[in-house]
Structure 1
Amino acid sequence: MTDPAWPGRTVSRALLAGLCALILWGVWTAASGGTAGPGVKAFGDVDLYREIAQRVAAGSDYYAAAIASQLAHGYPTTPFLAVRLPTLTSLHLALGETGATVLLVALGVAGVLAMAVRLDRDGRGRAERIAAVVLLGLGVALLAVGPVAWFHEAWAGVLVLLAIAVHSPRRWWPSVLLALVAVCFRELALPYLVVMAVLAWPQRRREAWAWLAAIGVFAAVLAAHALAVQAAQPPTPVASNGWVEFGGWSFVLACVRTGSLLSALPLAVAAVVVPLALFGWCFAGPLARPVVATCVLLAGALMVVGRPDNTYWGLLFSTVLLAGLAFAPRGLVVSARAAFSRSAG
């Protein structure tokens, strides 16, 4: 996945068949009613995060505050992943809600600009660069909506975008640090670190060790978090019902819709757009492997894990994924030529 002319006949046909299959699956899902979006709660997640921050600001320990608030409003407190890492609460207390939103949007804009530079460096055409920047900009615009700054996935997503954009085989450490901060906001960003470690291992062993070290540091952070959550538990903790739901491709589409401006459009639109975007990234040059591998890993996980009210998880990767639409037209032309050409290998 390193050059727009790479596919042979077999690979091109497989890509086109996969694209058609995902579109048909999504359209069938949309026609049959699809995955219901999260219902409106009288007291939702943003309200919970705000209340926890208020308790901490009043002098309470973060973990005591989180457990108390979650118990008071019917949220589970175990397993430990039911309680978020304190990163976002600390940030909001330091900057305030407005300051946090400004910083989130600034990071998003930085990610868009860095991606424009990256695409130019990778030799992508001017039209594709402009289209990708516009699509990324539309995704970043969603970050300006006040409550979005309270979602841990939004912060992790924008940091992963920036990490992807600034990565270079010769200067990889900023990407490693950004990705490490991303998982400290939300552990769901971990697949990106794993992908980068695997991709670097064959030829860039020093970089691969850096990614593995970042994973190790995060594992230590998560272990400390687990111990702190356990220490703050009441005598009778409230257990989660679990997240294994097997929502399938329809849940992936619902997540992407919730995490993007596609939420204003019918599910049938997402059923076509999302596969095209993933397909398009296959033709994005050096960015193809890390972006496609990360999105495929996340999509595969979401097909198994995630309740209907967890569609906001799409904030983690929707902006990056949908930018792949910029490369889809050329990808379709290249693949069609290779798939139906008698001379194709």
Structure 2
Amino acid sequence: MSRTTPLWLATPTRFAALKRNRARIGLVILAVLLLATLTALAIPTPPGLDAVSGGERHQTDLMLYEAIVAGVKGGGNYYAVAADALRAGAYPLRPFLTFRLPGLATILAALPLWVPPLLQFLLAFTVAATWMLRLRPSLPRTLPMLAGGILLAGSMLAFVQPGLVAFHEIWAGLLVALSLGMRKPGRWIEPVAIALAAMLIRETAALYAILMLAFAWLEGERREAIGWGVALAAFGAALGVHAYAVAGVTGPLDAMSPGWAGLQGFGLFVKSLTLATALQLIPLWAGALVVGLALFGWAAWDDPLGLRMIAILSAYAAVIGIFARLDTFYWGLMVAPVLLLGLVFVPDAIRDLVTQSLDRKRITVTHVTR
């Protein structure tokens, strides 16, 4: 088994330890993954996309959130304002999950108009700085670090747009990325607190917390696992209070949600990530393949953080593929902030996988009988 000098990384990828047959299976899996990303071509353009990409706007979720913030800023009760806005936009009001938790709208309404975009930019900058510092030991050379910075900027395209400041996934996605980037063995209190803030903005961040709890438990980090459990319990209590408040402003005649069994498959996950990043600037087929390579790169990074990242991406891919509808494509924003950073691991990953797949058994002569 050969161990070659890394191209960009400080250490070889996890594929460098594979035996020949497993490396060949890995190449087949990579090919299947890239082909699977092309199913994004069969996904129709999500409705309301123009509100995210800067075109002429019509009634969208973003406009709904902006109307709610404006109503709360005008002195209205959050739940009464949200119920009126949902009815006015012909949105469903049942079950209670059709109402976002009140935290973000309340905070945005309490701040001067110029403050939220500034906070959004500062949070995005903090996420970028945290991840660049976290990757520095793995990328000891200047060129890979420069490439990482460019890729990170491409991942952040949507997250620095002031026009999306009322979008819950923007804040929650950044907080999830910050929590994950800060987490290290023995340092979990701040990541747990940040993840709780993300959950109180967008409920789907709970999936991230559940996965982090599972990793902590499997790695024997019992105190950390308890911390994640406490955060999830606090979120559950807040969700219960939220459900009670929603019940006070809705009735049996209010519209019911059509459900979340979208069953759009892996293609919607891939397309959602191309729309959430700079990949929206290139043809969809090319962007889809880049998403596949980024996933491959994260899987290759021989670091506990890389394993967590690919597990989180896989879990959200499953949730989006099964439950998301076309009009909820923006769920991909939850994992988009650092997605493209996975590409920095691809050169070494492909080289290691190809090298190991071509590796031949060597016979070493240790004794000669005359």
- Native 8 Å contact 2:40 2:268 kept in 1: no
Report what 2:187 is aligned to: 171
Q: Deviation digits for residues 257-302 of structure 1, max 9, x if unmatched?
A: 2211212222101221111001101233232111010000000111
Q: How many residues align?
A: 340
Percent of counterpart pairs with the same letter?
33
Matched, 1:234 2:251: yes
Give how far 1:252 is off.
0.8
RMSD of aligned residue pairs (Cα, Å): 2.0
Q: Deviation digits for residues 124-170 of structure 1, max 9, x if unmatched?
A: 33343332232112222432222221111111111111111111112
Give how far 1:58 is off.
2.2
Give how far 1:317 is off.
1.0
Give how far 1:74 is off.
0.3
Quickly say closer, same or farther: Cα 1:11–1:155, change in 2 above 3 A. Answer: farther
Letter in 1 for 2:188: W
C-alpha distance in 2 between matches for 1:277 and 1:313: 18
Matched, 1:35 2:44: yes
User: TM-score by structure 2 length?
Assistant: 0.86
C-alpha distance in 1 between matches for 2:317 and 2:361: 35
Letter in 2 for 1:328: V
Q: After TM superposition, list the pairs within 5 Å mapping 1:1-345 onto structure 2.
A: 4=13, 5-27=16-38, 29-30=40-41, 33-39=42-48, 40=50, 42-121=58-137, 123-126=138-141, 127-202=143-218, 203-284=220-301, 285-343=303-361
Quickly say closer, same or farther: Cα 1:36–1:182, change in 2 above 3 A. Answer: same
Moved more, 58-67 or 3-12: 3-12
C-alpha distance in 1 between matches for 2:33 and 2:74: 50
User: TM-score by structure 1 length?
Assistant: 0.92
Give how far 1:343 is off.
3.9
Give how far 1:106 is off.
0.7
C-alpha distance in 2 between matches for 1:25 and 1:199: 27
Give how far 1:3 is off.
5.8
C-alpha distance in 1 between matches for 2:190 and 2:20: 38
Q: Deviation digits for residues 211-235 of structure 1, max 9, x if unmatched?
A: 1111111111111111111121135
Gaps of 5+ in 1: none
Larger radius of gyration: 2
Q: Deviation digits for residues 240-259 of structure 1, max 9, x if unmatched?
A: 11121110121111210221
- Native 8 Å contact 2:93 2:256 kept in 1: yes
- Native 8 Å contact 1:247 1:306 kept in 2: yes
Letter in 2 for 1:217: A
Report what 2:365 is aligned to: none
Quickly say closer, same or farther: Cα 1:178–1:13, change in 2 above 3 A. Answer: farther
- Native 8 Å contact 2:262 2:323 kept in 1: yes
Gaps of 5+ in 2: 1-10, 51-56, 363-370
Give how far 1:11 is off.
4.2
Letter in 2 for 1:43: Q
Quickly say closer, same or farther: Cα 1:141–1:303, change in 2 above 3 A. Answer: closer
Give how far 1:28 is off.
5.2
| Secondary structure of 2:136 counterpart | helix
Quickly say closer, same or farther: Cα 1:238–1:34, change in 2 above 3 A. Answer: closer
| Secondary structure of 2:178 counterpart | helix
Structure holding more helix per residue? 1
- Native 8 Å contact 1:97 1:149 kept in 2: no
Quickly say closer, same or farther: Cα 1:142–1:42, change in 2 above 3 A. Answer: closer
C-alpha distance in 2 between matches for 1:29 and 1:313: 15
- Native 8 Å contact 2:260 2:323 kept in 1: yes
Quickly say closer, same or farther: Cα 1:9–1:222, change in 2 above 3 A. Answer: farther
C-alpha distance in 2 between matches for 1:10 and 1:204: 34
- Native 8 Å contact 1:110 1:162 kept in 2: yes
| Secondary structure of 1:201 counterpart | helix
Quickly say closer, same or farther: Cα 1:56–1:15, change in 2 above 3 A. Answer: same
Report what 2:6 is aligned to: none
